[in-house]
Amino acid sequence: MRYRVTDASWHTHPPTPCSAEQKDWLTRDGSLTAHLRKLGQVDLWVSREEKGLSWADEYRALGLSRCLPVWVREVILMVDGKPYVYARSLTPVVASLTGWQAVRRIGNRPLADLLFRDHSVTRSALASRRVTARHPLHLRACHASAEYSLHALLARRSVFMRQGAPLLITECMLPGLWAQLERSSVQTGSASPVTACDMDETPIVYAQACYQSG
């Protein structure tokens, strides 16, 4: 199986302009859920979980046929009742019945509970981009945050490998996250606030941005 987490839009370096905090959250190692738990009580709501088709930048990233069925799971990560992250994961249907079968059974628990406790799982480098209305993720994220006038959102993605099968996870940061970080930085005076301009424009083995096996 071959994958490429970067392309013309997804890069290992965060897009510009970005605040220091935005760059930090787009490039943080480890579990995003664990980082969110430091901000408050994290709850997860599953908005979609079913067999479907991957988007253009997804099937290209995983080296799949555009018509190959995939198992898709989309969730909203809430912190103290407010939406902070919209996440989408997918793997070929056949992989969801073999190496990634636990993804079908995890229910309303974060995938981090699975990924960062299994030492056989490897992870690619993180890639990020600015997501606009041209990308299907934008509308779903806007719907999750109940804000439809957003010009652009910041997202990151990486590929997890288990038993030779890929699991692509894309995490889109919602305005609530940046608002919380801005409030915290103002209270502590420890960081520059996130501006509207910025918004517009555990153990795990890390692999390369490009991977090929067998």
Query: Would you say 182 is a known binding-site residue?
Result: no
Query: Would you say 177 is a known binding-site residue?
Result: no
Angle of helix 175-188 relative to helix 20-27, nearest 10 degrees, comes to: 120
Instruction: State the virtual CA torsion across 55, 202, 41, 169 in degrees, nearest 10.
Output: 0
The three-class DSSP label of residue 174 is coil
The CA distance from 209 to 123, in Å, is 9
What tokens appear for 172 in the block?
């889109």
CA atoms within 13 A on the CB side of 25: 24
Tell me the backbone φ, ψ of residue 56, rounded to 5 degrees: -55, -45
Query: Would you say 111 is a known binding-site residue?
Result: yes
Cβ count near 117 (within 10 Å): 12
Question: Binding site: residue ranges?
Answer: 73, 111, 171
Question: Binding site for substrate: residue ranges?
Answer: 73, 111, 171
